[in-house]
Amino acid sequence: MNLLIELLAFAVAIGVLVVVHEYGHYSVARLCGVKVLRFSIGFGKPLFQWVSPKTGTEWTIAALPLGGYVKMLDERETGGAPIPVEALPHAFNRQSVWRRFAIVVAGPVANFLLAIVLFALVFATGVTEPAAVVAVPAPNTPAALAGFDGGETIVAVRAENAGESGHVRSWSDLRWKLLGAAFDHKRVVLSAKDAHGTSDFQLDLRGIAEKDVDDDFMSRLGFEPGGGKLTVAGVQPGSAAQQAGLAVGDRLRAVDGVPTDNATAFIAYVKSHAGVPVTLQVERGGQAAGKLEEVRIVPQSQRDDATGQQIGRIGAELATQVPSIDVRYGPVESLQLGARRTWDLAVYSVRMFGRMIVGEASLKNLSGPVTIADYAGKSARLGPSAFLSFLALVSISLGVLNLLPIPVLDGGHLLYYLVEAVTGKVVSDRWQLVFQRAGLACIVALSAIALFNDLARLIHF
């Protein structure tokens, strides 16, 4: 059943993204007076064909659905057959350089516009997200050095010495604001509320390297969702947890006297205490609120496969229930936020790709169709908001990828047109052929790496 959901979600995602991208090319070509011969979803043998009596365009659904194309009237692609004189003004190659530029760039732009609309829908319809409550930060992290103790609710972020603050509505909102500040190497001031009122905390992000801005970015800063309940969800037989008497349903309140409400920080503490006794404060199921028991436990020392070092494990499965908030925006604000989120993700994608080229980021970040199908299925099972957000993310990735200055992609053609606009000369067919072969080699290499990463994630090698 899960496989069927993944395949259906993948088919819907690819179908929507391809149609939108190619329709961007098609619509601007029609506006520029260019005759479109074929609009194809997929490649290979046609499964369905229909010719519009009004425009003469052949609409096709082909057997291989991983992409699509718009074929326009072009003197260079007739195989030597002459084009009627009256049709020449409608040929793509007869258009001005700026019209050709507009037709080609319309595909990626359509993907960005789709992402804006999808994000706006998510923001307008509302989504449940973790509240911006901070867990107890790990020692010596930027959050701890800024003065956070855990339990504070962050309500605003502003740049140091700047006037207007950006309101923080959720954990996701906080993450994006800190991500932008880290990219810009800023010092920011976080306004946070606790039982004693509202206080300001200065956070220095000037020393954050771009290579550190990844999925673990917030954890590196010492920020984890907090304010919730950390409970034992399972105990492995023969483990240190079982020997110490931990049971399913136990709520962990503190470790060695330090309050804990986040699984990540708790696990990190246990890992660093291999073979060293730790004391847990536990609230048992059925006990009155606030009545705690102390449980002494010695984490078993095990070798970490990733680092080769000895780490501590207690053999307990943990569950974190953090406070959540329903986030909903008005129509205008939703569009503004959708545009801002699309811009931020596009810039992040470009920077990440640049870091991979210079070796500052791992090529393991590249994903192929298998990973996309997996995430499509997972997001579809989480609900409409998650799937629309996933669709917007992939649409942005497709738009950015097509704008890269690689021949055979839209960005490669745009580069040709920019050279033509500056020099007044068309790039020769000979050089275009050379660049096209080089571009094709780049695409094949990227596809091979992405497929390898897919297989590595699938079979864990």
**Could you report the per-residue pLDDT of 52-62, keeping only the tens digit for each?**
998 889 999 98
pLDDT in tens, 404-450: 888 878 888 898 889 888 888 888 777 777 777 777 777 677 667 66
pLDDT tens-digit series, residues 209-227:
666 666 677 888 888 888 8
Indicate if the pLDDT at residue 167 is higher than 80: yes
Pick from 152, 136, 218: nearest CA to 181:
218
Name the residue with higher pLDDT: 454 or 448.
448
The one-letter amino acid at 108: P
Higher pLDDT, 63 or 237: 237
pLDDT band at 39 (very low <50, low <70, confident <90, very high): very high
| Cα gap 204→189, rounded to integer Å | 9
Query: How is the beta sheet containing 153-159 ordered, strand by strand?
Result: 166-167, 153-159, 187-194, 197-204
The predicted-structure confidence for 106-145, as pLDDT tens digits, reads as follows: 999 999 999 999 999 998 988 788 888 988 888 888 888 8
CB 436 within 8 A of CB 407: yes
pLDDT at 126: 82
| Catalytic member of 6, 22, 224, 283 | 22
415 vs 454, higher pLDDT: 415
Per-residue pLDDT at 102 exceeds 80: yes
Report percent pLDDT > 70 for the chain.
84
| Domain topology for 229-323 | Pdz3 Domain (2.30.42)
- Give the span between the Cα atoms of 214 and 201, in whole angstroms: 23
3-state SS, the chain, equals CHHHHHHHHHHHHHHHHHHHHHHHHHHHHHHCCCCEEEEEEEEEEEEEEEECCCCCCEEEEEEEEEEEEEEECCHHHCCCCCCCHHHHHHCHHHCCHHHHHHHHHHHHHHHHHHHHHHHHHHHHHCEEEECCEECCCCCCCHHHHHCCCCCCEEEEEEECCCCCCEECCCHHHHHHHHHHHHHCCCEEEEEEEECCEEEEEEEECCCCCHHHCCCCHHHHHCCCECCCEEEEEEECCCCHHHHHCCCCCCEEEEECCEECCCHHHHHHHHHCCCCCCEEEEEECCCCCCCCCEEEEECCEEEECCCCCCEEEECCEEEEEECCEEEECCCHHHHHHHHHHHHHHHHHHHHHHHHHHHHCCCCHHHCCCHHHHHHHHHHHHHHCHHHHHHHHHHHHHHHHHHHHCCCCCCHHHHHHHHHHHHHHCCCCCHHHHHHHHHHHHHHHHHHHHHHHHHHHHHHHCC
142-221 and 229-323 share one fold? yes
Mean pLDDT confidence for 238-266: 88
pLDDT tier at 178 (50, 70, 90 boundaries)? confident
At 394, phi and psi to the nearest 5?
A: -70, -35
Residues in the chain, overall count: 461
Spatial distance between the Cα atoms of 345 and 354, rounded to a whole number of angstroms: 14
Q: Would you say residue 399 has pLDDT above 80? A: yes
Tens digit of each residue's pLDDT (9 = 90 or more) over 301-349: 888 876 778 889 999 998 888 888 888 888 999 999 899 889 988 887 8
Domain boundaries, the chain: 142-221, 229-323
What pLDDT does 405 receive? 85
Closest to 229 measured CA to CA, from 244, 211, 249: 249
- Please give the share of the chain, as a percent, with pLDDT higher than 90: 21
What are the tokens at 333? 């604000």
Which fold does the domain 142-221 belong to in CATH?
Pdz3 Domain (2.30.42)
Q: Cα 162 from chain centroid?
A: 29
Kindly state the tokens that stand for 193.
Answer: 């509320």
pLDDT at position 58:
93
Q: Average of pLDDT values for 370-377?
A: 63
Asked if pLDDT for residue 376 goes beyond 70, the answer is: no
Here the tokens at position 363 are 């090529």
| Residue 267 predicted with pLDDT over 80 | yes
58 is catalytic: no
Contact between residue 366 and residue 453 where contact means Cβ atoms under 8 Å apart: yes
Asked whether the predicted pLDDT for residue 460 surpasses 50, the reply is no
What is the chain's mean pLDDT, rounded? Answer: 83
Least confident segment among 32-36, 272-276, 453-457: 453-457
Q: Which residues contact 351 (CB under 8 A, 6 or more apart)?
A: 183, 210
